[in-house]
Structure 1
Amino acid sequence: MRVDILGITVDTYSMQETVDQIRQAVEGQIPMRVVTANPEMIFASERNARLKKLINSADIVTADGIGVVWAARRLGAQVMERVTGIDLVHGLFPIAHVGKWRIFFLGGKPGVAEQAANQVVLMNDGISWDAMHGYFSAKEEPKILEKIQNFQPDVLLVGLGAPRQEYWIAEHPGLATVSIGVGGSFDALAGIVVRAPKSIQDLHIEWLYRLWKEPWRWKRQAVLPQFVIKVLRQGFRRKTP
């Protein structure tokens, strides 16, 4: 099931259902592209037809953030929980360990992807991995593509930031069975960025914690009130005969 939020069709899968869908894709060697859609990305797609088409053509579009969960519920869909990039990969790693998956980490500053992968395999040593930072030029890109192709990953995690990572994945299909845009997840996996305490996550105000820790994010967060207004308008239009 999917729900239309400002023209973006978001899946109503729970975290476990999303993990199961990806597991089945890897085990069946079924190509899959996953977009973790947050309010900022959905809002931006209203003025970017290419981005909207790209997101809606993904195999899975998750509700990345409590704002998207709220919007879905407001529009009548039963979305039980958010499915963020960082939580999704944490859900996948134990399964990848058991299944001995091959995972490629692409993105972040030099050294961060490697650090993230090393931290992951401390607890999930059944995973085979390779990594490359995201600060590459167009001239360097062919070598990166060759590196990924030679590694033959089951899962390609791309942390180039949205929407660059979404464009990049769509422009380079076939590099892995499953490709997922994970934003800044590598910083969290590497321990460079510390996530909000579980109590704050449970209160659904992790965004506020991140804003406190990273004040420069206010420009991104500024779209949230506009997102809310547009969702309320969409709901009103649906109810108006």
Structure 2
Amino acid sequence: MRVDILGITVDKYSMQETVEQIRKAVEDRVRIRVVTANPEMIYASGRDERLKVLINSADIVTADGIGVVWAARQLGTPVQERVTGIDLVQALFPVADRRNWRIFLLGGKPGIAHRAGIQIALKYPGIAWDESHGYFSTEEEAYVLEKIRCFQPDILLVGLGAPRQEYWIVEHPGLATVSLGVGGSLDALAGHVVRAPERVQTFQLEWLYRLLKEPWRWKRQSVLPRFVIKILWQRFNTF
């Protein structure tokens, strides 16, 4: 089942259930597209019908962030837990390691995806991986696409930033069994960006930690109060 949040339908899967859905897709060779929908993306879809259709047409739409979890609860149809891009990717790695999956990493500045791949391989040697940075030109894109096709990945992790990565995945279907937009997750996997301590994550304050570490993010996070107002308005008109 999905919950309607400002016109975006978000799956109610837990992290474990999401991983299981992806595992089945890989094992059965069923191509699927996964979108991790955060409040900023959901809010933006209210002014961009194409983005709304793109998200809602995905095979899996996860609740990326505590803001989405809060919204679902306010609307009377709670989701089980947040399923963020970075957490989902890290939950997939043990499965990928046991089953020798092939994972392609696309995104980040030159060197980031490569470092991320090395870190993954050190911990999960059963995973075959390849990579490309995300700063390719229009002329270089054909080479990147051919590289991905030749690698034949089970999982394609695209970190081009939302919603560019979502549009890119739709514009280039069939590159992998499972295609997943992961935002800045490659930076975290490479160790280029340090995640909040586990205690901060437990208290669901990772957004505040990132804002303090990266003050420039305030422009993006300024959407959150408007997101809250829209959710409360949807709740008022629903009940």
Please confirm whether the aligned pair reaches a TM-score higher than 0.5, indicating the same fold.
yes
User: What CA deviation, in whole Å up to 9, does each residue of 1:157-200 have, x standing for no partner?
Assistant: 00000000000000001000000000000110011111001111
Q: Aligned pair count? A: 239
Amino acid at match of 1:111: G
Partner of 1:61: 61
Question: How far 1:80 moved relative to its partner?
Answer: 1.9
Question: How far 1:148 moved relative to its partner?
Answer: 0.3
Amino acid at match of 1:215: P
CA distance in 1, matches of 2:24, 2:73: 28
Partner of 2:117: 117
Identity of counterpart residues, as a percentage? 72
CA distance in 1, matches of 2:50, 2:138: 21
Question: How far 1:107 moved relative to its partner?
Answer: 0.2
Partner of 1:160: 160
Amino acid at match of 2:12: T
Question: How far 1:78 moved relative to its partner?
Answer: 2.6
Partner of 1:72: 72
SS in 1 for 2:62: strand
What TM-score, normalized by structure 2, do the two folds share? 0.99
- Listed as ranges, the matches of 1:1-241 within 5 Å are 1-239=1-239
SS in 2 for 1:196: coil
CA RMSD of aligned residues (A): 0.5
User: What CA deviation, in whole Å up to 9, does each residue of 1:131-173 have, x standing for no partner?
Assistant: 0000011111111110000000000000000000000000001
Question: How far 1:79 moved relative to its partner?
Answer: 1.1
Amino acid at match of 1:178: V
CA distance in 2, matches of 1:78, 1:163: 25
CA distance in 1, matches of 2:194, 2:100: 28
Question: How far 1:77 moved relative to its partner?
Answer: 1.3
CA distance in 1, matches of 2:146, 2:190: 25
CA distance in 1, matches of 2:78, 2:45: 23
CA distance in 1, matches of 2:40, 2:16: 24
Runs of at least 4 residues off by over 6 Å: none
Where in structure 2 are there 5+ consecutive unaligned residues? none
SS in 1 for 2:138: coil
Question: How far 1:76 moved relative to its partner?
Answer: 1.1
Amino acid at match of 2:199: S
CA distance in 1, matches of 2:77, 2:21: 20
Where in structure 1 are there 5+ consecutive unaligned residues? none
CA distance in 2, matches of 1:17, 1:76: 21
User: What CA deviation, in whole Å up to 9, does each residue of 1:77-134 have, x standing for no partner?
Assistant: 1312100000000000010000000000000000100100110111100000000000
